[in-house]
């Protein structure tokens, strides 16, 4: 659109063709560019000030054996940088020394990844034992890959020169680094070698401007602009040709028209180009400024909404993207994470199965189970092993408070729950310094040396540690992870049925499960494996793949010790929110990394799926291509057959099958996605979440993705609308999102109130902006203007823009009514209200029009001298004004009156209820009452048609700005009936199409 206005402005500089003063276009154009440029300049200035403060911050470096102050912007690769406690890390450093005797330090990475828990960083083994004097003189080589943005990986090596140590290569990982923007905590000082600086740091590489999101309204405006431009071309061709004919036939006969006999070759283009300039007002130049202005206000309304303020976490709602508010009222699919989004992410250890014995089944709390407490007191071998794995197989950091109490800092809530549970059972992790862990158990002190950590990955789905029992000298492998990752590693002959049953039983209760195992290692086996592990960790190419391969060689023949079950409660208001949004015609998909049975139980509890007989759940499972293909085909067939049945169908698929489907059967899965309004995707990876969003977008559905963790960022950024929850997993999702809220329940208000109002207001403003620009132009087909330049400019920018901007306050229904009747989101019909500000703006502009033009008409040089005085003395002017208003507005108002009185829509019914100031009915009760009153007068009520999964919803209201909106819902779903209360006592019938 901006290119079009620039073209018109350039044409007006040609004095031969311009019928008006160029200021009529250049003025508004400069104003638009000035507003945009000022906004961008202000943002750039703020970034400049922020960058300047960061660049000029003083830091300590070692140079020529002494420490000195320099500015952060002067740090060079290879400099040794010293950081003190609570200071920000200025660049990416390889840690080589700390004030701690064990060579560890703690960092806060919230500014980098949004995770608020402290993380441990350790110096490389080759730097252990170096004192501060040696650190001033240290020399060596660090081999590192090219800069990248992966904040969780670093595949590098370090080699120190003699006399500090020989030339042995020591591998470096992310646990040996301090990344830019982290803060040093609970450590007096730390120093490291700068490996990446400036824009080459991990943070600098990950920075980038996200792609702008185009709303449905913006796309419609662009298409309409193109259509109007094509219409202009047709008008220009017709009128330009007619003008040239008239010029050569009739114009030369007129005494007041003079044309040169020797005309240049381009004279034939003059009249068509004049008409192009006159027709340019069809595309309103004010629409961009108007839309940007009102959209900014919509975003502020969200920021100011006190009903979306989370008092528990002191978190207000925030709109980071001011351009897509109206799309909130057009959402068709919501893709949601589970843990921390639907649930609280407050993990509580509830039950466990150890050595085949179930604990906590009676009381619902294993920590109070007398049988388990007695087993701990009696030093039961299985229980002791189980608690040892819970205590050591993690990344938890114990910190002693000033009162002497031990607090745990964990990178995941699951680990925090496990370590605290073990502590309550008298196995307390007291200290973890470097590679040494100290445990107090039943008044005994036990020390372990942590030899190696086999880190958790989304592919392996487990974590292991190799420890040395300092008392016995034995080496053990401790493992914990998903059942599908641990149970297959059991030693041959172990009976695992009890543990499989425990996993299923706990999952059906909605509990998160982890399987724990261990194995004693022979010294020779460990030493041989350790060499391979060190080589894999030293690889600069494919390090992650090589490390995983080596880990698998050790993680086998495990003794499965038991299963832990952790409760993650639903957030308050989640079932009600999902129920209301489903009534409004929105479809839900739950994407989670949890196991299938756990996800299904949570889906039942939060009203995402229904139990039998109302609901039916279809399974897509399989490990091979053929199995998945057959399963998918059967589910598709079932969906097609039962489309017309009054039953809510949903399907569930796991990550393994989903990987095969997305790579081989994308078209069939797309059909399934259209047929089903509810889906549960389990064991999915972050990339698969983004792929599912992309798949739904490819079907032209408006998608909203909501999550709270770093693994949800890709999904959030891929969706048309991204919503982040400022949860316990940090702020990474909230920072990457278009909107951030404190709790899932606020999504209901965000969509139904802010989304619906924003869409209605933007739709009205867009239609008005185009409608007001069509007026007749007739001047003997000579390409001259009936109005002067000031009037033309003021018409678009002033007279007809200010009144409509007050639509930001327009409400066709009250917020209370909207929340009580979510079905009306399907209408999204703009219109039926006036505020005092709107009334004042409309009539104030009408009066201002005459005052301003009378003033201009009194100025001889203004080009309108005496025009208004003469015009207003003529009765035909006032008669014409009344006729134009009557012809233009009469049919529209009459049609609206007829519909409102004799064929009221659902919105009209609710408007009548509000204006009557009687008791507020729900839509279904009010409709029934009005229908009975109107039957005697043969008056019908227009309601949306009943929909099924294969139908496309089309409102009966032809003037609805959302007439093309699609919303696929169940055939049994009556949008005027409140959904039946959902129960979770019965489990849905499972159709396993294997």
Q: Which residues are annotated as a binding site?
A: 337-339, 415, 456, 480, 512, 592-594, 683, 689, 708, 711-712
43 is catalytic: no
Is residue 141 helix, strand or coil? Answer: strand
d(CA 808, CA 762): 8
600, 617 Cβ separation under 8 angstroms: yes
904, 941 Cβ separation under 8 angstroms: yes
The Cα angle at residue 946 between residues 940 and 947, in degrees rounded to 5? 150
Burial (CB count within 10 angstroms: exposed 0-12, middle 13-18, buried 19+), residue 273: buried
The sheet carrying 183-185 orders its strands as: 118-122, 104-108, 183-185
Query: CB 239: neighbour CB atoms within 10 A?
Result: 23
d(CA 979, CA 576): 11
349, 421 Cβ separation under 8 angstroms: yes
d(CA 862, CA 711): 64
634, 993 Cβ separation under 8 angstroms: yes
d(CA 93, CA 89): 8
Beta bridge partners of 93: 178, 194
Query: Of these residues, 327, 337, 452, 810, which one is catalytic?
Result: 337
Going by DSSP bridges, is the β-strand pair 66-71/156-160 parallel, antiparallel, or unpaired? unpaired
Which residue, 385, 444, 290, is CA-closest to 800? 290
Distance of CA 948 to the CA centre of its chain: 29
Please report the sign of the dihedral spanned by the C-alpha atoms of residue 359, residue 360, residue 366, residue 372.
negative
The beta strands (E) that lie in 19-162 are given as 58-63, 66-71, 80-84, 92-98, 104-108, 118-122, 140-143, 156-160
Contacts of residues 797-802 at CB distance under 8 Å and 24 or more positions apart, as own/partner, are 797/27, 797/28, 797/31, 797/285, 797/286, 798/845, 799/845, 799/848, 799/849, 800/772, 800/845, 801/286, 801/290, 802/841, 802/845
Going by DSSP bridges, is the β-strand pair 80-84/58-63 parallel, antiparallel, or unpaired? antiparallel
Tokens found for residue 77: 């690769």
Binding residues for Mg(2+): 337, 339, 708, 712
Going by DSSP bridges, is the β-strand pair 397-400/406-409 parallel, antiparallel, or unpaired? antiparallel
User: 613 preceded by cis ω (within 30°)?
Assistant: yes
Query: Residue 747 — left, alpha, or beta (φ > 0 → left; ψ -120 to 50 → alpha)?
Result: alpha
Distance of CA 513 to the CA centre of its chain: 28
d(CA 728, CA 731): 8
DSSP structure string for 631-644: HHHHHHHHHHHTTT
Which residue, 799, 803, 765, 772, is CA-closest to 220? 765
Termini Cα distance of the chain: 54
Torsion of Cα atoms, 698 then 701 then 702 then 705, to 10°: -70
Beta bridge partners of 559: 518
User: Would you give the DSSP letter of residue 521?
Assistant: E
Binding residues for ATP: 337-339, 415, 456, 480, 512, 592-594, 683, 689, 711-712
The sheet carrying 140-143 orders its strands as: 140-143, 156-160, 170-172
Please report the sign of the dihedral spanned by the C-alpha atoms of residue 607, residue 610, residue 614, residue 616.
positive
Catalytic residues: 337
């Amino acid at each position: 659109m901006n290119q079009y206005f620039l073209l018109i402005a350039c044409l007006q500089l040609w004095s031969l063709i311009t019928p008006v003063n160029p200021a009529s276009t250049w003025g508004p154009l400069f104003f638009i560019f000035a507003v945009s440029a000022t906004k961008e300049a202000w943002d750039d200035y703020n970034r400049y000030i922020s960058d300047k403060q960061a660049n000029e911050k003083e830091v300590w470096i070692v140079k020529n054996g002494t420490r000195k102050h320099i500015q952060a912007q002067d740090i060079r690769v290879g400099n040794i940088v010293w950081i003190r406690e609570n200071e920000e890390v200025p660049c990416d450093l390889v840690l080589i020394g700390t004030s701690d005797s064990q060579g560890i330090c703690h960092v806060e990475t919230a500014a980098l990844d949004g995770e608020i828990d402290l993380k441990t960083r350790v110096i490389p083994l080759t730097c252990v034992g170096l004192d501060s004097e040696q650190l001033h003189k240290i020399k060596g080589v660090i081999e590192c890959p090219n800069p990248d943005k992966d904040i969780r990986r670093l595949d590098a090596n370090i080699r120190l020169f003699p006399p500090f140590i020989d030339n042995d290569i020591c591998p470096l990982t992310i646990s040996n680094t301090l990344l830019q923007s982290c803060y040093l905590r609970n450590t007096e000082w730390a120093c490291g070698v700068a490996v990446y600086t400036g824009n080459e740091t991990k943070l600098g590489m990950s920075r980038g401007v996200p792609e702008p999101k185009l709303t449905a309204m913006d796309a419609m405006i662009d298409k309409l602009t193109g259509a109007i431009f094509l219409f202009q071309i047709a008008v220009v061709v017709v009128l330009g040709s007619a003008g040239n004919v008239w010029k050569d036939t009739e114009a030369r006969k007129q005494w007041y028209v003079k044309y040169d006999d020797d005309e240049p070759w381009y004279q034939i283009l003059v009249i068509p180009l004049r008409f192009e300039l006159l027709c340019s007002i069809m595309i309103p130049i004010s629409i961009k400024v108007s839309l940007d202005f009102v959209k900014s206000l919509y975003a502020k309304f969200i920021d100011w909404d006190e009903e979306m303020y989370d008092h528990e976490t002191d978190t207000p709602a925030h709109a980071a993207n001011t351009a897509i508010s109206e799309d909130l009222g057009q959402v068709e699919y919501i893709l949601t994470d589970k843990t921390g989004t639907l649930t609280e992410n407050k993990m509580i250890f509830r039950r466990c199965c150890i050595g085949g014995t179930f604990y906590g089944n009676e009381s619902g709390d294993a920590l109070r189970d007398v049988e388990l407490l007695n087993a701990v007191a009696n030093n039961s071998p299985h229980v002791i092993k189980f608690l040892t794995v819970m205590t050591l197989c993690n990344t938890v950091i114990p910190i002693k408070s000033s009162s002497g109490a031990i607090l745990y800092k964990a990178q995941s809530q699951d680990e925090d729950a496990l370590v605290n549970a073990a502590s309550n059972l008298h196995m307390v992790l007291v200290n973890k310094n470097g590679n040494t862990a100290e445990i107090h158990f039943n008044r005994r002190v036990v020390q372990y040396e942590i030899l190696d950590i086999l880190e958790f990955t989304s592919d392996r789905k487990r974590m292991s540690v190799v420890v040395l029992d300092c008392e016995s000298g034995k080496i053990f492998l401790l493992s914990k992870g998903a059942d599908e990752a641990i149970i297959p590693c059991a030693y041959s002959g172990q009976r695992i049925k009890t543990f499989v049953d425990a996993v299923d039983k706990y999952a059906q209760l909605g509990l998160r499960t982890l399987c724990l195992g261990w194995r004693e290692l022979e010294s020779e086996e460990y030493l041989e494996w350790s060499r391979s592990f060190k080589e894999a960790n030293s690889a600069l190419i494919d390090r992650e793949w090589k490390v995983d391969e080596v880990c698998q060689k050790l993680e086998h023949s495990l003794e499965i010790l038991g299963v832990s079950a952790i409760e993650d409660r639903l957030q308050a208001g989640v079932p009600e929110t999902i129920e209301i949004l489903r009534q409004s015609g929105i479809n839900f998909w739950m994407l989670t990394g949890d196991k299938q049975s756990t996800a299904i139980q949570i889906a039942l509890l939060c009203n995402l799926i229904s139990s039998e007989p109302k609901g039916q759940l279809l399974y897509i499972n399989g490990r091979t291509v053929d199995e998945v293909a057959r399963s998918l085909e059967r589910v598709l067939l079932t969906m097609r057959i039962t489309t017309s049945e009054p039953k809510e169908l949903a399907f569930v698929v796991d990550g393994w099958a989903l990987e095969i489907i997305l790579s081989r059967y994308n078209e069939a899965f797309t059909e399934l996605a259209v047929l089903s309004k509810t889906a549960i995707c389990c064991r999915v990876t972050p990339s698969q979440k983004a792929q599912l969003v992309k798949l739904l977008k490819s079907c032209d559905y408006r998608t909203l993705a909501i999550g709270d963790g770093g693994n949800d960022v890709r999904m959030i950024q891929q969706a048309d609308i991204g919503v982040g929850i400022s949860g316990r997993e940090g702020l990474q999702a909230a920072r990457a999102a278009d909107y951030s809220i404190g709790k899932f329940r606020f999504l209901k208000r965000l969509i139904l109130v802010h989304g619906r109002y924003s869409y209605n207001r933007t739709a009205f403003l867009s239609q008005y902006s185009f409608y007001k620009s069509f007026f007749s132009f007739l001047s003997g087909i000579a390409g001259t203007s009936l109005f002067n330049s000031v009037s033309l400019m003021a018409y678009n920018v002033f007279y007809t823009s200010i009144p409509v901007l007050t639509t930001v306050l327009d409400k066709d229904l009250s917020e209370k009514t909207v929340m009580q009747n979510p079905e009306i989101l399907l209408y999204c019909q703009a219109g039926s209200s006036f505020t005092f500000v709107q009334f004042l703006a409309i009539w104030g502009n009408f009066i201002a029009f005459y005052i301003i033009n009378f003033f201009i008409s009194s100025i001889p040089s203004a080009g309108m001298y005496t025009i208004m005085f003469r015009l207003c003395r003529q009765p035909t002017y006032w008669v014409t004004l009344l006729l134009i208003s009557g012809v233009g507005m009469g049919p529209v108002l009459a049609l609206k009156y007829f519909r409102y009185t004799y064929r009221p829509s659902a919105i009209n019914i609710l408007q009548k209820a509000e204006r009557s100031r009687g008791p507020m009915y729900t839509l279904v009760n009010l409709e029934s009452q009005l229908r009975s009153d109107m039957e005697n007068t043969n008056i019908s009520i227009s309601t949306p048609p009943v929909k099924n999964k294969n139908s496309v919803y089309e409102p009966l209201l032809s003037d609805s700005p959302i007439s093309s909106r699609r919303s696929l819902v169940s055939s049994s779903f009556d949008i005027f009936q409140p959904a039946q209360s959902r129960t979770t006592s019965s489990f849905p019938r499972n159709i396993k199409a294997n």
